[in-house]
Structure 1
Amino acid sequence: MKLQGVFFVLVSLLIFSACSKTKEPVLIQRSDEQLFAARNPKDIRRWLDTNRDIARAYFGTTRFGNDTALVNELTHRVNDKELGVLYDQVHQTFGTLGDLTGQLSEAFTNIREIYPEFKPPKVAAMVTGFMGPDLVITDSLIVIALDYFIGPKAKYRPVGEQFPNYILRRYQKEYIVPAIVFAISDRFNATNRQDQTLLADMVYYGKGYVFTKAMLPDTPDSLIIGYSDRQLTQTFNVQEDIWAYFIDAQLLYQTNPSVKNRYITERPFTAEISTKCPGAIARWVGWRIVGKYNDEKDPGIKALMQTADARRIFEQSGYKGLKDEET
């Protein structure tokens, strides 16, 4: 009976501890609703003057309500029927933004636990018909252009050379928060600026992905790195061949930008290895290296992010292109 009592107390303490974890409150400012409620130039000017931080970050203006060209363009757009269709689709897709606020709250709470000095930025939502970038992320402000992320069923989608299908596939709402958290990881990701090797780039991305996974532990790996589930599975299964190519081609300490870009930047596939090998494959390999180092040494996220020596992380990881169960 005494043991049962002790067990009950321990369980109660654990439950209380879990429930008492204070989540970081997140409020996404519905700048899109405020903007579309402003139907005439006078109201648009007022909106720009009231939301100067958003106007500066998203539209790149410093004139705000006095920016006549911007006022006229926004007035035209908020009264455009076709943009109204896109705006309605945003509301159907995102609703009250509960999914985004919940994920951001989880991430910000976890970041604050490790970095108490972290101040969650203001978050705002925008719909403009792709007038600005998809995401703006600074230390003090995040602007999410929701119209980019409706998904394949959207009547209108972003177009241009910067939006090939292999990238456009990721413009869906579930990719938004992982992308934000990865961007935030940069401020904690110590690097050696003198190290211009591909390995340094690989470890940088790997640390960022490990950080993102730690702050969003239930998020699938595919949403963190942007590969499809099939790509992840295929890449994992042939990683020994990928690693052999990296070693044979002496890529790790390559410093030539044109060579590095073949493996670190976005591409439909890495032709040098295989048409079935995803682009930016060096980022994925970097994630494997840092992940293994993190598993082997268990330094904790803060110490991991503070480690600027990419070569040390690689050498101490012991990564040799093998699957986890074979190491």
Structure 2
Amino acid sequence: MAPRKRISSVNDLAMPSSQVRDPNDALTAMAPSPSLARIPSPARFALVVFGSLIMSSVLFTLTADVTQGDLGLVSKHLEEWWEVGGLVAWKAAEVGLAWVLGFDSWDVASFLFLTHQPTFSLLSFFYGVRPTSTLASYLITILSTVVPFAFLRRPTSVHDLSHAPSGAVANRTILQDTATTIYTILAATSIFSIVLYGSYASWLPAQLVVHFESLPDISAAHAGPAGFPALFLTLIPSGYAVRDFLFVSSTGHAENVTEEAEPANREDEYLIVDFYRKTWGQLSVKTRILISRTLILASSVLLNTTVQIAGTIQDVSIQGAAIWGSVWAISTLAIGATFSWIEAVDGV
């Protein structure tokens, strides 16, 4: 029977560098440097998790005078050991998830920036926390994880174009084109701004009043059209981060096409396997990357916002934290759909 072409599977994407069969696989897993290769993968995983926790603790201790001022006034006082342990475990799980999913330091920076932004935006917009306190805490949260990743995992090809093997990255001209970069960043920023502004102008203020008992000020939600330009400008870094995490990683993926013999008989194939093959299996790898990353990011934004706000800010219900997080999660899904529409253009 005639051979058929097969697009690389999800398992191919996660293939260790020692088993990479084609330069295109280098997009997802570049070979570690000799010094890193000598450290077993489980040991590197443990170093990343514990290194992030230790660095975060040290940096927050050293900057306590900056971060504990007005943040302490709105923070929930954790008295039970399981409350503190739960937040630490959540932090460790977040770092571990990023490692298991194969993120490099650039991915981690974008991922953490986006998953923690709803929390710090809430503190800035509605709790009147000083920018110095917010930015210091924000920066420590990101750097304490990015630094261990930078030392223990090499960047993927899309984040290291100058050293990427030939054929390892698709659409190089698109990724390096300044105009395309600006347009995609502005598109993502616009979606964030419109969803948030529309929520402010309709249902969100009432939810904030009901579920955030000690909220001191909601004037930001009633700024109206005059507040839209400032809102848009503050969300440009978010547009850049989500563009890097979703668009760059999926658009830059080079398809790995190999030849595989057609199975002789599909009659005994399980129904779930047949369903997978005819749905998810029909999509290109770059489309699967975009969809999976969008879903991972949206769910992480919602879960992390719920845990962080309900667990650390006083007088906030779990429902209220989830409502605030859902606004950002919906924005993420809309941006993912927009990038999918852009990538459907011929030649991308």
Q: TM-score, normalised by structure 2?
A: 0.27
Q: TM-score, normalised by structure 1?
A: 0.28
